[in-house]
C-alpha cells in the first residue's frame, strides 16, 4: 500500500456564524485547504464530509454532493460520513483508506457542523442521538447526564477530587487565548470553573465544551503527488484507525475506560510503526474535563486513575512531557461536533509545520488526534508525522 500525505489545511473560526449556512462554512474551509495545498480544485478526486446532525438541525442531507456542487466539482465522488461526534475523524479515516489503497490520488476530508441556529433543546436532542434512543434517550437521559455518570464513577473509584479534574478547562483556555480560530479566547481560573453553574451533577458549565459552528478541511494526497508540490515540510498521515465499543454505558463492564480508544490506538500505532513513547504532541477529545483525563490513561500516557496527575504536574504544557490540546481543545477552541476531528488534525499539522506561534511546541515530529463519538461508542485515532 502507498502512503498518504496531508498537503493542505483550511478552517473557519469556530463561532456563532449567524450569517453563514452549512454550505458556506464547508466551502470556505475546503477552498482554504486547496489554496494551502497549492493545487487546482480540479485535482480533487474524492470528497468525504464528516457531519452528525445536518439532517435534523438544518433539514439538509446529501452533504457530499452539496459541497461538490458549491466547489464547482460536479461528477467527483463525494459522500457524507457520520459517526456522531467522531464524524470528522471518521471522514479522515475514509480519506486515508481511499488514498492508501491507491484508488484516489488526491482527496478532501472535511468536517462541518452548525449548531447555534437551533434552539438549545434541539441541539441537545441531536446530541443524544449518539446514544441508543430506545433504551437511553427514551428514559430521559441527556448527553451531559451520561458523562456525569462517568465523572462521578471516576472520582469514586480512584478517589480523585473534582478540582484536579476541572483543571483541564483552565489548561485549554490558556492555549486558546493565542488561537485566532478558537471560539473562546479568554483565560479561566480554577475558581471560575468551580463556581460556574451545575449542568448535570458533578459537571459544571465551564467544564463542558460549548456549542458552535465551524468547518475544517484537509487535502490528502499520495506520496508521489505530494512530492511534486513545493513544500518545506511534508506531513504524513501515518496511521488511521476506527474502533467501536458497546454503545450504551449501562452494558459496559467499566465506565472509566473507553475500550474503543484502546483498540484504535493499538491499530494506529501498528500502522505508523510507533509506540506511545514516540508521540510528541497530543489532541484529546475533552468534551468534558473528566474525558480529557480518562483519555490520557486509555491512550497509554498514564496509569488508570492517574491521568489527572499529568495535568496537575504541568506535563501537558507545550514544554511538558506530552503537550496536549495546545490550541485550546474542545473546551476552548470549540466543539462543532462533526468537524472536531478535522480541527484536531488541523492543529497538529500547524504544530508540525512550526506555525503555532506563541503555542508552538519545540520541534514536534509525531502527533496523535483522538476523536470520540458519543461516550466512546466510536473512536477515531489519527497519527501524523513530519517528513522533510
Model confidence pLDDT, tens digit, residues 316-369: 999 999 999 999 999 999 999 999 999 999 999 999 999 999 999 999 999 999
Nearest to 157 by CA among 261, 254, 293: 254
Q: What are phi and psi of 339, to 5 degrees?
A: -100, -15
Question: Would you list the DSSP string of 246-275?
Answer: -SSGGG-S-TT--HHHHHHHHHHHHHHT--
Tens digit of pLDDT for each residue in 9-44?
999 999 999 999 999 999 999 999 999 999 999 999
Which grid cell sits at 255? Answer: 465506565
Q: In what order do the strands lie in the sheet with 77-81?
A: 77-81, 46-50, 106-113, 214-222, 4-11, 234-244, 378-387, 366-373, 281-283
Q: What global pTM score does this model have?
A: 0.98
* Nearest-angstrom CA–CA distance, 299 and 244: 15
Residue 139 pLDDT > 90: no
Return the axis-axis angle of helices 143-158 and 289-298, rounded to nearest 10°: 60
Beta bridge partners of 49: 80, 110
Angle CA 210–212–216, to nearest 5: 120
Which residues are bridge partners to 367 per DSSP? 281, 384
Under a CB-based contact definition with an 8 Å cutoff, are residues 162 and 155 in contact? yes
Indicate the pLDDT class of residue 101, thresholds 50, 70 and 90: very high
Domain 4-118+211-227: assigned CATH number: 3.40.47.10
Conformational region of residue 14, where left means phi above 0, alpha means psi within -120 to 50, and beta covers everything else: beta
What residue ranges do the domains of the chain occupy? 4-118+211-227
Cα–Cα distance, 247 to 259 (Å, whole number):
11
- Does pLDDT of 64 surpass 90? yes
Please give the positions annotated as active site: 85, 335
Amino acid at each position: 500500500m502507498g502512503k498518504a500525505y496531508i498537503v493542505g489545511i483550511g478552517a473557519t473560526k469556530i463561532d456563532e456564524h449567524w450569517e453563514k449556512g452549512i454550505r458556506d462554512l464547508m466551502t470556505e474551509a475546503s477552498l482554504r485547504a486547496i489554496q494551502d495545498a497549492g493545487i487546482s480544485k480540479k485535482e480533487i478526486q474524492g470528497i468525504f464530509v464528516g457531519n452528525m446532525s445536518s439532517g435534523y438541525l438544518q433539514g439538509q442531507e446529501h452533504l457530499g454532493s452539496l459541497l461538490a456542487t458549491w466547489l464547482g466539482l460536479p461528477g467527483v465522488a463525494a459522500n457524507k460520513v457520520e459517526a456522531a461526534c467522531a464524524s470528522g475523524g471518521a471522514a479522515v479515516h475514509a480519506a486515508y483508506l481511499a488514498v492508501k489503497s491507491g484508488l484516489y490520488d488526491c482527496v478532501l476530508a472535511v468536517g462541518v457542523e452548525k449548531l447555534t441556529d437551533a434552539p438549545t433543546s434541539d441541539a441537545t436532542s441531536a446530541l443524544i442521538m449518539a446514544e441508543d434512543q430506545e433504551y437511553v434517550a427514551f428514559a430521559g437521559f441527556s448527553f451531559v447526564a451520561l458523562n456525569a455518570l462517568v465523572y462521578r464513577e471516576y472520582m469514586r473509584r480512584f478517589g480523585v477530587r473534582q478540582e484536579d479534574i476541572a483543571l483541564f478547562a483552565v489548561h485549554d483556555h490558556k492555549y486558546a487565548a493565542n488561537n485566532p480560530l478558537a471560539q473562546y479566547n479568554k483565560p479561566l481560573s480554577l475558581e471560575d470553573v468551580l463556581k460556574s453553574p451545575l449542568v448535570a451533577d458533578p459537571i459544571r458549565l465551564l467544564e463542558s465544551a460549548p456549542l458552535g459552528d465551524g468547518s475544517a478541511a484537509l487535502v490528502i494526497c499520495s506520496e508521489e503527488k505530494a512530492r511534486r508540490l513545493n513544500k518545506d515540510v511534508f506531513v504524513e498521515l501515518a496511521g488511521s484507525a476506527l474502533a467501536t465499543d458497546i454503545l450504551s454505558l449501562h452494558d459496559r463492564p467499566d465506565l472509566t475506560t473507553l475500550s474503543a480508544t484502546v483498540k484504535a490506538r493499538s491499530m494506529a500505532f501498528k500502522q505508523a510503526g510507533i509506540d506511545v513513547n514516540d508521540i510528541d504532541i497530543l489532541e484529546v477529545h475533552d468534551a468534558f474535563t473528566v474525558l480529557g483525563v480518562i483519555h490520557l490513561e486509555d491512550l497509554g500516557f498514564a496509569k488508570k486513575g492517574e491521568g489527572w496527575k499529568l495535568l496537575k504536574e504541568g506535563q501537558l504544557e507545550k514544554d511538558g512531557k506530552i503537550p496536549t490540546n495546545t490550541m485550546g481543545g474542545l473546551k476552548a477552541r470549540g466543539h462543532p461536533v462533526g468537524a472536531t476531528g478535522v480541527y484536531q488534525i488541523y492543529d497538529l499539522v500547524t504544530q508540525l509545520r512550526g506555525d503555532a506561534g506563541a503555542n508552538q511546541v519545540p520541534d514536534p515530529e509525531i502527533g496523535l488526534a483522538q476523536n470520540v463519538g458519543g461516550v466512546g461508542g466510536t473512536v477515531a485515532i489519527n497519527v501524523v508525522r513530519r517528513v522533510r
